[in-house]
Amino acid sequence: MKKPVFTGAAVAIVTPFKPTGEVDYEEFKKIIDHQIAHGTDAIVIVGTTGEASAMTIEEHAEVIRFGCDYVAGRVPVIAGAGSNDTQTAIQLTREAAACGADAVLSVTPYYNKTTQRGLIAHFNAIADCSDCPVILYNVPSRTGMSFTAQTYFELSKHPNINGAKEASGNFSLLAEAMHLCGDELNFWSGNDDQIVPLMSLGGKGVISVLSNVAPTEAHEITRLCLEGKYAEATRLQLDYLDLINALFCEVNPIPVKKAMELLGWKVGDLRLPLVELSAEHTAMLKAELDRMGCKI
């Protein structure tokens, strides 16, 4: 049995930038403190929501190091460390391990993609490079490929592969993978609108965009599920469904960074090729934040 890196709601945290384009570490401290104070169970840094794909390797490692040092063990820190190049993923994983990350999040190769045999070789090589637990990340909408249940099963045999962030929305795949892997692979939802159904199958929680603006509520949905109170968890998830949809009205993290700005955080501009949220979507997002009473 593999103990999960965390249970509950982990925030896929935004990375704030100064007007000069550099990471704003002072604002980052405030955002991290706010998350921990409001019940977030773990912090995922430099993932998709943290705009890792627009960072250099050196900057990426610097943000991981800062995050691990500042969180200082208050909650687990999971570092985005994936790449479509195996050697780059290994380098990032080693950097994250050296910085003290509790785990790494490693996405399936994108653009060049690979076969299922290639996925097994890729992730086994990453898991072999350090003792840092690896969380696989399945997000076919971004990468153009998906794990099969059998591939999940093969990867679950590696002692350093702890689990998977599942954002495929394919519950048939998920059910079969959970059946095959049992306690040897933990699963977390990668979609905020699917927390309850995934956890009802045995998932351990969520890696959440919603947590950036509603950390207490995201944590509460997972807490209720972990306690078997699925009817209450469902009501709460459905209450937040319109806000969740608004946070994905354009490509993540465009809407969530605008939401953070609307709430008063100094998150700065997005890095190209991401651009400002449209005026129409900004109005809709603001209305949802106001309706749900979101605030700093």
Which residues does the annotation mark as catalytic? 137, 165
CA distance 292 to 209: 16
Which strand (E) or helix (H) includes residue 150? Answer: helix 149-156
* The two structure tokens encoding residue 292: 């749900």
Report yes or no: 264 and 256 within 8 Å, Cβ to Cβ.
no
CA distance 91 to 95: 6
Tokens 């990340």 appear where?
A: 137
The three-point CA angle 287-293-295 to 5° equals 100
Query: Count of CB atoms within 10 A of residue 59's CB?
Result: 15
Specify the DSSP class assigned to residue 278. Answer: P
CA distance 81 to 227: 32
